[in-house]
């Protein structure tokens, strides 16, 4: 699949029971801030509401946590314009193309106005965390991939009177769609490692309900480093990867015949923003998100399956990792709940 193919919209007008989102993340390293911009589509099943589209902007500050904020504004689906090639996703004042992302959201009673206008060059390859058949099978209800796992953005992001100038700042762009949200998932992306800025880590870990039981994590992980790709994508590999989920972190160990990849990605509670959203089937899903998590990754190799592993490299990143956790709603810690800006309140206040 090319970058164009994996970013192409899957929704067609009249299709119900479908969600789709294009997300772009960025980090401004000098200020230790970062953000995530979502262009979303929600077309629920009959009886669960009307189709809509949305613009969402989340901002995170590793130094001053009180600056963290999240805004979301919904629009009638008629305000959505989709184009496959060349790529164009347009929602009201927001637009995503193959080399530019721009838009704005108005000031509310609780939050400042925000705007963004960023240019980037598409990655030379997309990252597909799932096995190829998963993207063509109706049995996989929710599909996720990263058309641009390592991009460098230049332009302007403004939050109120604060304006950030990005100059080849690291980021990523992902695309997800389906007819139902997974029971629980964790997504990680990083391309801002201190030791090797061109390296990129992608992790996607999911759990599924089977009746009253929940499966152990099924984890897919890949490290792009120095022209090599260390990938654990096969279903049999994913089932054997050890992944330990904690409320604000994930640890993993992936062992192959000649490669072992292990790491930890973690965020503090005050670095997370939490919000509830509705899946196409009407189920409420809770999502926690940050762009300023931290990561440590170790890569080991060996000459043969019976030889001992030897360390190849260590990678670390502070306050520039995308960490997302979703699943059934759970009570949020007070410090996280304070940073939720509800969709209903945002929409009403924007109309004032």
For residues 327 and 285, the answer to whether their CB atoms sit within 8 Å is yes
- Give the H/E segment covering residue 239: helix 235-240
pLDDT at residue number 181: 72
Main-chain dihedrals φ then ψ at residue 252, nearest 5 degrees: -145, 150
Strands (E), 77-182: 80-83, 88-91, 94-97, 100-105, 114-119, 142-159, 162-178
Q: What are the φ and ψ backbone dihedral angles of 237, each rounded to 5 degrees?
A: -65, -45
Q: Which domains does the chain have, with CATH numbers?
A: 3-350 (2.40.370.10)
- Give the residues across from 35 on adjacent strands: 26, 59
Determine contact, residues 232/240, Cβ cutoff 8 Å: no
Q: Is 79 helix (H, G, I), strand (E, B) or coil?
A: helix
Predicted TM-score of the model (pTM): 0.91
Going from the C-alpha of 223 to that of each of 17, 300, 320, the distances in angstroms are: 34, 12, 16
The pLDDT mean for the chain works out to: 89
Which pLDDT tens digit goes with each residue over 19-65?
999 999 999 999 999 999 999 999 999 888 899 999 999 999 999 99
Mean pLDDT by 10 residues, the chain (352 residues): 79 92 97 97 91 96 94 95 94 96 93 96 91 86 93 97 97 93 88 95 88 82 95 85 93 95 96 87 87 98 95 97 84 44 37 32
Compute the distance between CA of residue 11 and CA of residue 92 in angstroms, rounded to an integer. 18
Q: Taking a C-beta distance cutoff of 8 angstroms, is the pair 151, 172 a contact?
A: yes
Predicted confidence at residue 291, as pLDDT, reads: 98
Looking only at Cα atoms, what is the longest distance across the chain?
68
Asked if 282 and 48 touch (Cβ cutoff 8 Å), the reply is: yes
Instruction: Specify the 3-state DSSP secondary structure of 346.
Output: helix
Q: Which tokens in the block code for residue 220?
A: 């897919």
What's the pLDDT at 275? 85
């Amino acid at each position: 699949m090319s970058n164009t193919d994996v970013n192409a919209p899957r929704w067609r007008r009249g299709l119900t029971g479908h969600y789709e989102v294009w997300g772009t993340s960025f980090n401004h390293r000098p200020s230790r801030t970062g953000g995530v911009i979502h262009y979303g589509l929600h077309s629920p099943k009959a009886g669960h509401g009307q189709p809509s589209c949305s613009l969402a902007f989340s901002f995170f500050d590793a130094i001053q946590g009180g600056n963290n904020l999240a805004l979301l504004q919904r629009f009638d689906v008629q305000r959505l314009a989709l184009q496959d090639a060349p790529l164009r996703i347009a929602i009201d004042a927001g637009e995503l193309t193959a080399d530019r992302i721009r838009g704005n959201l108005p000031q509310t009673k609780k939050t400042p106005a925000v705007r963004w206008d960023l240019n980037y060059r598409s990655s030379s390859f997309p990252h597909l965390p799932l096995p190829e058949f998963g993207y063509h099978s109706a049995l996989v209800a929710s599909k996720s991939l990263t058309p641009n796992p390592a991009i460098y953005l230049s332009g302007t992001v403004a939050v109120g009177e604060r304006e950030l100038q990005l100059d080849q700042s690291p980021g990523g762009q992902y695309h997800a769609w389906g007819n139902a949200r997974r029971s629980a998932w964790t997504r990680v992306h990083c391309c801002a490692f201190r030791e090797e800025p061109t390296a990129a880590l992608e992790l996607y870990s999911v759990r599924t309900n089977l009746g009253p039981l929940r499966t152990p994590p099924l984890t897919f992980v890949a490290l792009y480093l120095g022209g090599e790709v260390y990938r654990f994508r096969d279903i049999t590999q994913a089932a054997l990867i050890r992944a330990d989920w904690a409320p604000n972190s994930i640890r993993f160990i992936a062992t192959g015949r000649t490669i072992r990849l292990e790491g930890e990605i973690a965020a503090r509670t005050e670095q997370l923003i939490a919000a509830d959203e509705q899946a196409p089937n009407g189920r409420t899903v809770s999502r926690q998100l940050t762009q300023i998590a931290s990561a440590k990754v170790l890569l080991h190799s060996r000459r043969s399956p019976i030889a001992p592993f030897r360390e190849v490299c260590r990678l670390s990143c502070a306050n520039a990792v995308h960490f997302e956790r979703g699943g059934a709603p759970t009570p949020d810690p007070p410090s996280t709940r304070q940073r939720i800006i509800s969709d209903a309140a945002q929409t009403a206040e924007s109309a004032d």
